[in-house]
A and B are shown apart, each in its own frame.
Chain A
Amino acid sequence: EVQLLESGGGLVQPGESLRLSCTGSGLTLRSYDMNWVRQAPGKGLEWVASFSGSGDGGHYADSVKGRFTISRDNAKNTVFLQMNSLRVEDTAVYFCAKPKYCGSDGCSGGLDRWGQGTLVTVSP
């Protein structure tokens, strides 16, 4: 069974850092451009970042650009989200998700597998 499991969330103060992990089972994460999506309390879904396995590296929402870095460890079958200079407005449940299809032309078909999410709380 395909599963994604996030970890690493917690309570931090503004300006601090946190690293989230997303580990896959039943699938090889290097075959997909993995995504991070978040949902702040009472708000909707917000795309945060994606990691292109084709060599383009990370792509980021403007709200996190320059502060967050997405990376991947193929040996651990894990994708990371390094979050620096955290702000109160970064408080959210963070989900990792995989595209339905990925090939030589890129990924398509939406995000068909999601983890259960990990809660990040940034508070003074």
Chain B
Amino acid sequence: QSVLTQPPSVSGAPGQRVTISCTGSSSNIGAGFDVHWYQHLPGTAPKLIIFANTYRPSGVPDRFSGSKSGTSASLAITGLQADDEADYYCQSYDSSLSGSVFGGGTKLTVL
């Protein structure tokens, strides 16, 4: 059971918009710690796509956006493309655990 809760899977057709939620608690997201998002394809290194809740690293398309409110955060992907199909993870810091925590991951399927 992950400290940060994500839906196991989401799907959408090409061109559509999908969102992935990340629900935490008062010791992590709700305590004000930043949320970061990663895109991960099997056999490769995870890629940072959103940092500090809403910021995109250089080179990440603006189709990817992040938000945070209360004890939750969300990743939105608009204009879905086939190569967006991957696993997505949220990450934050937990003060009770004194360490980083990841969500359980969400598998995005592009129909």
Contact = CB atoms under 8 A, between A and B. Distances in A.
Contacts of A100: 48, 51, 57
A35 B38 CA distance: 15
A44 interface: yes
Interface stretch (A8-16, A20-28, A78-86, A105-113): A105-113
B36 A111 contact: yes
A61 interface: yes
A55 to B, nearest CB: 16
Interface stretch (B17-25, B77-85, B93-101): B93-101
Nearest to B44: A116
B68 interface: no
Interface string B62-98: 0000000000000000000000000101010000011
Given A100-B48, A100-B51, A108-B34, A45 B105 contact: yes
Interface residues of B, number: 28
Contacts of A114: 45-47
Contacts of A37: 46, 102
A89 interface: no
Nearest to A100: B51
A62 interface: yes
Contact of A108 (B52, B57, B98, B103): B52
Interface of B: 2, 34, 36-38, 40, 44-48, 50-52, 55, 57, 87, 89, 91, 97-105
22 contacts: A35-B100, A37-B102, A44-B2, A44-B103, A44-B104, A45-B46, A47-B101, A95-B45, A100-B51, A100-B57, A109-B34, A109-B36, A109-B52, A109-B55, A110-B37, A110-B38, A110-B91, A111-B36, A111-B46, A114-B45, A114-B46, A117-B45
Given A59-B98, A61-B99, 9 more contacts: A44-B104, A47-B99, A50-B99, A59-B99, A100-B48, A110-B50, A111-B48, A115-B45, A117-B45
Interface of A: 35, 37, 44-47, 50, 59-62, 95, 97, 100, 108-112, 114-117
